[in-house]
């Protein structure tokens, strides 16, 4: 199956990859769902919503500081690097990620749409002005926006919030134009990101899913490869590279 996927990918001009938390699991970043996931220990509505931030601002910031510290220590894994290599081999490539850890950027993939924001950035909770990326937040003394006085929050899309319009429109267009669409390490339950693979498939893309477990998307996938993205992706991309150099 891996050979077949590589053959198709090597003949495609428009490649789109969608990633979720699973791509970073092998780097040591916990996923959200499942028994060891972040949401097994925390309630999303308490930590990742506007209402949660208003009610428990200090706790929310303590939690994000903890996640920031964790993410500063982790490095891209072989899966992230394989995606960068695939981009180099593709005439037209787009990476859409739901992850906020910035590992795709560190791995030097160029064309990235970060649909859910980035944990290293901050913004105003009222006027949404982006503030200094390196700001260190003291949860007991949260800085306020210079423009409107609103409390500073992480630049992450929370539950109940809309995605950046330009980013999601671009992600839709890219998905519609994809000839092959890789859906990697996502449970595919958070919309609108989770709709992108179906959009691509409806428009004729070959849908490839790579995940350690079956998901709600698996029945739609043309190819489902069960296993770790850090092991499977390098195998596929190596074969694409070999085919391209023939
Ligand atoms: P989930 O935690 O829902 O799903 C992670 C998926 O990765 C699961 O399907 C796992 O089976 C799979 N997985 C785990 N390890 C893997 C590995 N080594 N290789 C391949 N697959 C692996 O994470 P997401 O789908 O990314 O939102 O969650 C979507 C959104 O929900 C997140 O972006 C986040 C969360 O609330 C925001 O932060 C706004
Ligand atoms: Zn403001």
| H-helix or E-strand spanning residue 14 | strand 14-19
| Same domain assignment for residues 195 and 208 | yes
User: In this structure, are 149 and 226 located in the same domain?
Assistant: no
Enter the pTM of the model: 0.95
- d(CA 224, CA 89) in angstroms, rounded, equals 22
How far apart are the CA of 123 and the centre of ligand 2, in A? 8
Q: Which residues keep their CB under 5 angstroms from ion ligand 2? A: 124, 126-127, 129, 145, 147-148, 150
Atom of ligand 1 nearest to the CA of 34: 2
37 Cβ closer than 6 Å to some ligand 1 atom: yes
Lowest-confidence pick of 14-18, 31-35, 163-167: 31-35
Same domain, 107 and 212: yes
Q: Residue written as tokens 């691509």?
A: 200
CATH number at residue 147: 3.30.1600.10
Residue 246, pLDDT score: 64
pLDDT above 80 for 216: yes
Strand order, beta sheet including 117-124: 130-131, 117-124, 152-156
**Best CA proximity match to 25, nearest among 103, 94, 84, 87:** 103
Domain check: are 132 and 192 in the same one?
Answer: no
Q: Which atom of ligand 1 is nearest to the CA of 228?
A: 19
Which pLDDT does position 129 carry in this prediction?
93
Pull the structure tokens for residue 73.
């220590």
Same domain, 172 and 65: no
Q: Return the percentage of the chain with pLDDT > 70, whole number.
A: 98
∠ CA 28-105-83, rounded to 5°: 80
Report the CATH number at residue 220.
3.40.50.1220
pLDDT of the residue at 44: 76
Pairing outcome for strands 152-156 and 180-184? unpaired
The verdict on the CB of residue 151 being under 6 Å from ligand 1 is no
As annotated, the active-site residues are 116
Looking at the structure, tell me whether residues 175 and 228 fall in a common domain: yes
102/55 same-domain check: no
Domain coverage including residue 84: 2-29+76-116+162-245
- Block residue for tokens 């290293």: 120
What does the pLDDT look like over 34-64, one tens digit per residue? Answer: 777 777 777 877 888 999 999 989 999 998 9
Predicted confidence (pLDDT) per residue in 128-173, tens digit:
999 876 777 888 899 999 999 999 999 999 999 999 999 999 999 9
């Amino acid at each position: 199956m891996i050979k077949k996927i590589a053959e198709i990918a090597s003949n495609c001009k428009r490649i789109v990859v969608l990633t979720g938390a699973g791509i970073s699991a092998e780097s040591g970043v916990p996923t959200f769902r499942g028994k060891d996931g972040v949401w097994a220990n925390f309630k999303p509505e308490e930590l990742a919503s506007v209402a949660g931030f208003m009610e428990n601002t200090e706790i929310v910031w303590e939690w994000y500081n903890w996640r920031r510290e964790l993410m500063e220590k982790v490095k891209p894994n072989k899966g992230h690097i394989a995606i960068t290599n695939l981009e180099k081999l593709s005439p037209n490539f787009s990476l859409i990620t739901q992850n906020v850890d910035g590992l795709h950027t560190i791995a030097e993939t160029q064309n990235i749409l970060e649909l859910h924001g980035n944990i290293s950035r901050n913004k105003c909770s009222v006027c949404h002005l982006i503030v200094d990326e390196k700001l260190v937040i003291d949860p007991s003394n949260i800085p306020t926006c210079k423009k409107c006085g609103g409390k500073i929050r992480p630049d992450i899309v929370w539950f109940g919030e809309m995605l950046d319009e330009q980013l999601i429109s671009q992600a839709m267009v890219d998905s519609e134009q994809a000839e092959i669409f890789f859906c990697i390490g996502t449970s595919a339950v958070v919309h609108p990101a989770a709709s992108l693979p179906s959009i691509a498939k409806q428009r004729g893309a070959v849908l490839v899913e790579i995940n350690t477990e079956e998901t709600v998307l698996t029945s739609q996938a043309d190819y489902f490869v069960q296993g770790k993205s850090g092991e499977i992706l390098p195998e596929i991309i190596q074969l694409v590279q070999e085919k391209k150099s023939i």
